[in-house]
Each structure stands twice: as C-alpha cells, then as structure tokens.
Structure 1
C-alpha cells in the first residue's frame, strides 16, 4: 500500500519553487510527487484561496507568483524620540504574524541594529524603512541620506580608499564610537540573513549564503550615492538562529564573547591588482590582535605573492603565537605559497 502524501508537503514544494517556475509549476510538482495535473491544480487553487499565490493570464498562458503578504513603507524622523525597539515593536513586529520565532528574532536583531547605526552614526535627519514579506521570504530595507558608512569609516580611520573601509568592516569589532558601540552589529547581522547588502558611496557589497553554509561575496563599483542603504533578506523556513551565529564566532560554547572573525581576502584587492606586497598583507592583518582566531577566506583569490604570504603566515604568526590563523577556500597555487612560507623553504614553489 502506497504511503499517503501529506498535502502540506505538496503546498510547501509549490511555494518554494514557484518563483523559479512561474509558468510550469504544475508540471514540475506533478513530476515531483507523481500526481495528476488536476490534483496539483487543486493544491494551487487552495493556495490562491489562502492568499499566498496570485495568477495572471489564462490557461496555458497563466503565470503564478507569490502574493505579497506585507508591503510596508515608512519615513521616520531621526530625533530625540527615535527608539529602535519601539519602531520594531509597534510598526514591524505586527507584520510578522505567522513567521517562525527564530526568523523573527533575526529580523529584530538586524533591523534594530541597523536603525541604531542610523541614529548614532549617520547624521541623517530621517530614515526610510521598507518591509516586504511573502510566503517564502522576508525583505527589509533601511535607508538614510547621512554621511555614508564607508565614507565615515574611511575618514575616521584615515584609510586610503572606501574599499579599505569595507575590509575593516567585514572583520567586525569596528566602530567610530567605542564608548557606545562594540562594532559587532553589522558583522553578526550580515551572517544571520540569507542575503545582506550595503550600498553606500560608490560601493555595493553583498553577502549571499549558498548550500553548505558557504558565502558568496559580491563587490561592485557603482555610481556614487548619498547615505547608506542596507538590504536584508531571509527565507521564512530558515532554521538559523541568533544563538547559532553568536556561538560560531565565540571563543567557547555558551560564551558569547566575539573572539573569532572571518575575513574575505578578496576585499583586500583593488581592481585587478594582485596580492603580492607586505603592505597589502598588513592591511589584512590590521586589528587581528583583537581576536583569538582569524579565518582567512581565499574565495575568488587565485594566487598570492611570496611577500604577502610571508607577512601573514610566518612573520605575524611568529610575533603573535596566541592568535590562531586559519585559511579556507585556497586555490592550489595559494595553498602552495602558504605551505612554502610556513615551512621556510629556500625558494618559492613552482607554479607549474
């Protein structure tokens, strides 16, 4: 006797796949579960009756899409009455009805942290928030017309370029006001959401989670814009929790002290330049003394020079034996260079 299919599984499959298959979702679902098109169309009809889907066109030309359950926008003054927790509780939380608690917790953390940054750092007189939600995702945008996050960091730390500010920001524990902030908000927020993006000055920076809990980074030069806009997106079926993210970068389980960081080495590059010099390495190494463990991510870095590798993997490691330096996603060529400088070989490894 065949096992009876759970209608909720079929509905979940439709909802999760309809964005990629707006025209052939019935055929796809029929093939997935071995059911007739008529049965699948019945499921689609019920999802439409629940208000989760909507359709345009007729018969073969019909196109389905997820219906927006929430589309909330508001421009708020940044004044003495501005309180990020009140904004969350009174304006945003009521829009999260039916969303899993772990996802709500992440949205609360991300939104309140970004709003607090606007209040304390941007110099903006107002902030725009936009909350959108459908059956599969929550999108949140926080936008201000203040000084701009990369510009502010660049000036405060006297850095050469906004990209250098982005490199420092990605490490965490960076703040221009240490009396009131720890510099952890953006670091953790960017790792809680499935996609986290910043648009400011002439830079677009985006972190996108991929299968296997790997992250894809995108950095683009764009036309200069005023202020800062933060984009955050999370799937409503995400199993991630704030606690998991905090623990991943803590020194020990159940110890939430931020002691481990993850540094994308590609952010140390300017344009098409290669990572070959000690000065480039020293930019990467800046503020490492604040951490117990540093994970260097060589994703999208095909090669590194001997001086760059030596400064990090021999000179710095010998001078700072209490700081653990690890690396991931290294190409064979990068791996060879790291091994060579670590072993003090007499000549550089062959690239052949």
Structure 2
C-alpha cells in the first residue's frame, strides 16, 4: 500500500472522528460527499474505527448512528470549605489523566482548569464543587460545577446591574468579576479563545459564544443555585497557551 493511500485513509478516518458528534446518523453521507468515495468505502473506515474501540454505533442500516467512545473518565466532588488549592487538585486529580496529550495542550488545560476552579473557590460562596472529565480519541471535556450563589447573580449584585444578562455581557468582555477589587475574571475572555468549546451556565443565564443562537442549553443547567463551566479542547490542538495570551 502506498504512502499516499495510507495518508488518505488516515485523513478520512480523522474526518469521521471529528464530525461524528455533529452528524451521528449521517456521518457516512457526509464522508461520501467530502471525499467523493462510495458508501462501501466509508463503511470500511467506520468498521476499522469500531474495531479499534474509539467509535461506537447502534441501530441497523438507515437508522444506525455513531458516537465517540469515552476512553478516559473521572468524576469527583470536593469541599470548598477545607482550604482547597486548585494547583493541588490539578496535580493530583487532573494532570495524571491528561498525560497522554501533547505538552502544549496540557499547558492550555492547566491554565484554564486552575483559573476556573480558583474562581469557584474564591468567589462562589458555595459548599462544594463537582468536577467531571471525559476524554475521547478526539477531544477532552472538563466540567466544573459549584453550588454557590451563581456567578451572574453575584456580579449583578456586586456591581448594581439591572439583570443577570447584563452581568453575563460584562463578564464576557472581561470588564467585571464577582469581586469589585479583583479582576481575575478577565480570564474568562482568554478561556473563550483557548478552548474549542466554552460554556458558563448559571440560573437562567447562559454564556456560550461558540454555539449557534438556536442551541438548546437545557441539559447543562445546574440544579437550583450554582455555576457550571464546561470546557472542551481538541486533543491535538495547534493553539498554544502562549499564543492565547
């Protein structure tokens, strides 16, 4: 088999993996249209990905759909009342799970994770924080949820704004934080640039700059009070932390 054939096969399989979340039931058609190959040819690539354990599927023929298999998963809940240190949490709980990633990607995760967790520790006023990590062959996703007052409500009250939407808009521009003397919240604007997906959900307000306006955020809504921050990054991103800053 020629090198060109191998490279083309890898390109096709990479396309399938990177687009299957957007087209779970039509990824075969998307791949056929993209590369001008037959459905039978696409099927061979899909079967290879299924057999390698990084793609999963369900259903028969026309109704069949696919998704990326979660290869690495962790969920922990920590108290915010025991002098929690974001660097310790990173070193003990998160960094070991990301050791398979390129160093430039790990650096972005370190900056984003520790910044967001520090915000929860210092500003949320909550009792606990839940952290989830899910990694597929394509992306890594980390969610941080606290049970505090809620970031947008805190900013609204601290800066005497009319509503939480105004607080969200100000925070997204790096203008305000929950602490009138501390501008650490400017890290939010950097996080938006760093990550391939970045969402903040609190109360009735959502900040999701990389989603279309008709996106439904309901599954992410925190129960009762609190703030959820969701970050997702491609495992082989070409962006570096230094380039962001």
Q: TM-score range, shorter-chain basis?
A: 0.7 to 0.9
Aligned counterpart in structure 2 of residue 48 of structure 1, from 50, 54, 62: 50
Distance change in 2, residues 1:204/1:34 (3 Å): closer
Distance change in 2, residues 1:16/1:242 (3 Å): same
Contact 1:70–1:134 (8 Å) recurs in 2: yes
Q: Pick 1 or 2: higher relative contact order, CA cutoff 8 A, min separation 6.
A: 2
Distance change in 2, residues 1:46/1:227 (3 Å): same
Query: Gaps spanning 5+ residues in structure 2: where?
Result: none
- Once the two structures are superposed, what CA deviation does each residue of 1:275-296 show, in whole Å capped at 9, x if it has no partner? xxxxxxxxxxxxxxxxxxxxxx
Aligned counterpart in structure 2 of residue 72 of structure 1, from 67, 71, 74: 74
Contact 1:153–1:176 (8 Å) recurs in 2: yes
Distance change in 2, residues 1:40/1:174 (3 Å): same
- Tell me which structure has the larger Cα radius of gyration: 1
- Once the two structures are superposed, what CA deviation does each residue of 1:282-341 show, in whole Å capped at 9, x if it has no partner? xxxxxxxxxxxxxxxxxxxxxxxxxxxxxxxxxxxxxxxxxxxxxxxxxxxxxxxxxxxx
Distance 1:89 1:27 in 2: 43
Query: Which one is further off, 168-177 or 136-145?
Result: 168-177
Contact 2:77–2:129 (8 Å) recurs in 1: yes
Matched with 1:235 is: 234
Query: Which one is further off, 40-49 or 137-146?
Result: 40-49
Aligned counterpart in structure 1 of residue 121 of structure 2, from 104, 116, 119: 119
Matches within 5 A, 1:271-290: none
Secondary structure of 2:205's match?
strand
Shift of 1:72: 1.8
Matches within 5 A, 1:76-155: 76-155=78-157
Contact 2:146–2:228 (8 Å) recurs in 1: yes
Alignment TM-score, normalising by the size of structure 2: 0.81
- Once the two structures are superposed, what CA deviation does each residue of 1:116-147 show, in whole Å capped at 9, x if it has no partner? 01111111111011112212222221111112
Distance change in 2, residues 1:201/1:224 (3 Å): farther
Aligned residues: 240
Contact 2:158–2:180 (8 Å) recurs in 1: no
Distance change in 2, residues 1:17/1:93 (3 Å): same
Matches within 5 A, 1:192-203: 192-203=194-205
Query: Which one is further off, 186-195 or 111-120?
Result: 186-195
Instruction: Pick the structure with more strand per residue.
Output: 1
Distance change in 2, residues 1:21/1:177 (3 Å): closer
Distance 2:95 2:51 in 1: 25
Distance 1:194 1:148 in 2: 24
Query: Gaps spanning 5+ residues in structure 1: where?
Result: 211-215, 247-352
Two-structure CA RMSD over aligned residues (Å): 3.2
Distance change in 2, residues 1:113/1:128 (3 Å): same
Secondary structure of 2:161's match?
coil
Distance 1:92 1:26 in 2: 35
Distance change in 2, residues 1:217/1:112 (3 Å): farther
Matched with 1:326 is: none
